[in-house]
Amino acid sequence: MNSYERVERVLNGDIPDRVPTFELMIDPKVIRGIVGSGNYMDLCDELDIDIAMSQTPSKMYREELVDEQKKIIRNEWGILRQYNDEIVPHPLHGPIETLEDAMAYQAPDPLEDFRFDYLRELVRRFKGKRFIGFHLHDGFNYSYYLTSMQDMMMDLIEEPELVHRLVDISIEHNMKLAEKALDIGADFILSGDDYGSKTSLLVSKEHFDEFFLPGLNKICQMVQDRGAYMLKHCCGNINPLIGDLAGFGIRGLHPLDEKSGINQIEVKSKYPSLTIMGGVDCDAPLTDYTEEQMEEYVKGVLQTHAPGGRYICATSNSVHSSAKPENFAAMQRAVHKYGRYLPNGELDWA
């Protein structure tokens, strides 16, 4: 069974030969520490990572340097973002302040060919061999990227029409991205918008129902109508939304952060159509453990999360710049060693 077949079986609720592996993002320093270069696709082959992901959405847009000392750039959206030590620059402020600004705003052309160069290389190298995903946004993140988080939250109350317009801009753009990505050969679309803090949703459930969930559902239905899979990454405590996400037909949910009050085993039991993705804490295990400790830790995660299938092993967010390359490699080896299934869905060593 190859990686593509393994992931497809899990997403369809069947038992594969072993637990599949996934990472949303892997820092280039970690990649270089394992394969000697920053080539993510070489890393997928070296560690036999089952799901191959396109780059983070921010890398699809041209940037101009605004402040070299502070590492601030402006991208094609007109959004100011600031780089630190991680892959994704932090959004500072966007170009839209009023409804009039939003009505006149023109988003970048989603179909510019260069935006899909990386995906084409993934398809050329891995089609039918690994499960290929295209990472984009839905309606939440760009609603504050194009303004600011503070402004967007105030506008939910003071100027709801503006927020509706911001959501429409994002959904229209990302629908076109998704359609072209599927044309090129992506096996699934993954929306990466984050909805939660450590303790709660970032805005009320009522506001999600009114403003943000309908657009995500629209993308989900289009993807499913095309015969592809929809997956979702969403950090924070999103317990109030999990039923909605499963109801939209999302087949895999990452990372279901247990430090944010989500019980992954309960989610797996409650939503039989949903594959849980995550389980491996991306903090101390990746940064502080020895390789031997990492192997034992992952073995324990597999013992609790993997029985019965519907589980894809991943970190609780991403493989960040502080992670030890040898620990991430040890994590992958442990999944291959201890993640083998018996036909009844139990692990063959447990």
Q: What is the pLDDT along the chain (350 residues), one digit of tens a residue?
A: 999 999 999 999 999 999 999 999 999 999 999 999 889 999 999 999 999 999 999 999 999 999 999 999 999 999 999 999 888 999 999 999 999 999 999 999 999 999 999 999 999 999 999 999 999 999 999 999 999 999 999 999 999 999 999 999 999 999 999 999 999 999 999 999 999 999 999 999 999 999 999 999 999 999 999 999 999 999 999 999 999 999 999 999 999 999 999 999 999 999 999 999 999 999 999 999 999 999 999 999 999 999 999 999 999 999 999 999 999 999 999 999 999 999 999 999 87
pTM of the full predicted structure?
Answer: 0.97
For residue range 1-60, list pLDDT tens digits in order. 999 999 999 999 999 999 999 999 999 999 999 999 889 999 999 999 999 999 999 999
> E strands, 24-68, where?
51-53, 63-67
Can you tell me the distance from the alpha carbon of 132 to that of 185, in angstroms, rounded to the nearest whole number? 8
Q: How far apart are CA 211 and CA 83, in angstroms?
A: 29
Domains and CATH numbers, the chain: 3-55+107-338 (3.20.20.210)
DSSP code of residue 54: P
For residue 229, give both structure tokens: 């899979």
Q: Distance between CA atoms of 260 and 316, rounded to whole angstroms?
A: 10
CB-CB contact of 139 with 193 (8 Å)? yes
- Residue reference for tokens 């029409």: 161
Instruction: Please compute, for residue 132, the number of CA atoms within 13 A of its CA located in the half-sphere on the CB side.
Output: 23
Separation between Cα atoms, residue 308 and residue 322, nearest integer Å: 33
3-state secondary structure of 97: coil
Task: Give the count of beta carbons closer than 10 Å to the beta carbon of residue 168.
Answer: 14
Q: Which residue, 273, 328, 320, is CA-closest to 297? A: 328
User: 90-93 and 80-82 as β-strands: parallel, antiparallel, unpaired?
Assistant: antiparallel
Q: 289 and 280 in contact (C-beta within 8 Å)?
A: no
Rg (CA), the chain: 20
- Cis peptide leading into 255, omega within 30 of 0? yes
Q: In whole angstroms, what is the distance from residue 334 CA to residue 297 CA?
A: 9
Which of 195-232 are b and which e, b meaning 16 or more Cβ less than 10 Å from the residue's Cβ? bbeeebbbbeeebbebbbbebbbbbbebbbeeebbbbb
The count of residues in the chain is 350
Which tens digit of pLDDT belongs to each residue from 119-140? 999 999 999 999 999 999 999 9
| Phi, psi for 279 (deg, rounded to 5) | 100, -25
